[in-house]
Amino acid sequence: MGFFDKLKLSRLKEGLSKTRETLRDKLSFISQGRTEVDEEFLEELENVLVAADVGVETTLDIVEAVTERARRETYRSEDELNRMVTGEIRNFLLDARVEHPVDFEAPLPAKPYVILIVGVNGAGKTTSVAKLAHNYEKAGKKVVIAAADTFRAAAYEQLKIWADRAGVPIIGQSQGGDPASVVFDSVSSAVSRGSDVVLVDTAGRLHNKSHLMEELAKIMRVARKRIPEAPHEVLLVLDGTTGQNAVLQAREFTRFVNVTGLVITKLDGTAKGGIVLSISRELKIPVKYIGVGETIDDLQLFDREKFVEALLARQDAGSVTQ
């Protein structure tokens, strides 16, 4: 593992520290003084996993696997029991369809590649746009940001600050402008400049939900006037601190928009990081990016194996290991 990979894993572990410490401490607590699995232990295990927002379906599967394994084995100490339980949790969290993270350096299937970013206000949508722009720019790709959230006051100004940090051009209008017009101008500009990526920030709220979804549909129609296949990707940004409410938000958006991937933000601020794994399983939509901090470098490609490693890592003698 190279230096930058180790640095990213370290940031991931740091970002998931609240979830990891809570999960590890609670698993150690329910194993304390036990050398066997009984009904009380299984009930406590279920509560621990649900509290970490691992998801009801996954929780029940893990509890069943622990039950089956306990029938075949005996444990001489609480440490052995704890290791068995942690191992079964690891197996189940990794036992999902393979999700290969696509590096920002990878060739794009279209040029310009149009990415629509949707989500409710406050989820971290605008900062995620800037962080994506930063990563693509750092990978040597030319990026244009479309500030199509013309409903929220100061949305353009906020995004421009982040765009300037990323060193990426931004196209927008004042509050009350036409979002579809912004998208058309941005896509046209990207075509003429030979840009690689167009990132479209959208409104997270209008006067009612139906208007918001109609606006998103209009934006997509207008983009297709310049690029028939656009948008090539629709990313839904969800706030990881909201737990199962994020699942409800996702279901609402997917009723109206063909979401191709999820961005889960603010994982450094929650003890319920298991939402990343449960939401992907429940919605059958891949998690593509996760936010583990506030700086512009803290948006990471989601790698399930590294995520589980960071989630279940043990703290021994001042160092973080598995």
Q: What is the pLDDT of residue 228?
A: 94
Model confidence band, residue 295 (pLDDT cutoffs 50, 70, 90): confident
At 127, phi and psi to the nearest 5? -70, -30
Domains of the chain: 3-98 (1.20.120.140), 113-310 (3.40.50.300)
Q: Is residue 8 predicted with pLDDT exceeding 80? A: no
Q: Is residue 72 predicted with pLDDT exceeding 50? A: yes
Reported as a single tens digit per residue, the pLDDT across 115-124 is 999 998 888 9
Three-state DSSP string of 21-50: HHHHHHHHHHHCCCCCCCHHHHHHHHHHHH
> Which of 38-47, 155-164, 198-207, 256-265 is least confident?
198-207
Helices (H), the chain: 3-15, 17-31, 39-51, 56-72, 78-94, 125-138, 155-166, 179-193, 209-226, 244-256, 275-283, 304-312
Model confidence band, residue 5 (pLDDT cutoffs 50, 70, 90): low
β-pair type (299-301, 170-172): unpaired
Q: Is residue 1 predicted with pLDDT exceeding 60? A: no
> Which of 4-13, 45-54, 56-65, 284-293 is least confident?
4-13
Structure tokens at 244: 């199962």
Reported as a single tens digit per residue, the pLDDT across 251-272 is 888 888 889 999 999 988 877 7
Q: Is residue 318 predicted with pLDDT exceeding 70? A: no
Q: Is residue 315 predicted with pLDDT exceeding 60? A: no
Q: What is the pLDDT of residue 322?
A: 38
Question: Looking at residues 33-50, what average pLDDT do you find?
Answer: 90
More confident residue, 153 or 78: 78
More confident residue, 100 or 127: 127
What is the spatial distance between Cα 45 and Cα 100, in angstroms, rounded to a whole number?
A: 30
The count of C-alpha atoms lying within 13 angstroms of the C-alpha of 41, restricted to the half-sphere facing its C-beta, is: 21
Q: What is the pLDDT of residue 52?
A: 83
Reported as a single tens digit per residue, the pLDDT across 158-178 is 899 989 988 899 999 877 788
Q: What is the pLDDT of residue 95?
A: 65
Beta-bridge mates of residue 234? 116
What is the spatial distance between Cα 52 and Cα 34, in angstroms, rounded to a whole number?
A: 22
Q: Is residue 3 predicted with pLDDT exceeding 80? A: no
Q: Give percent above pLDDT 70 in the chain.
A: 90
Residue 295 DSSP symbol: S
Q: Is residue 216 predicted with pLDDT exceeding 70? A: yes
Q: What is the pTM of this model?
A: 0.84
What's the whole-number average pLDDT of the chain?
A: 84
Reported as a single tens digit per residue, the pLDDT across 84-103 is 888 888 887 776 554 555 68
More confident residue, 213 or 133: 133
Model confidence band, residue 111 (pLDDT cutoffs 50, 70, 90): very high
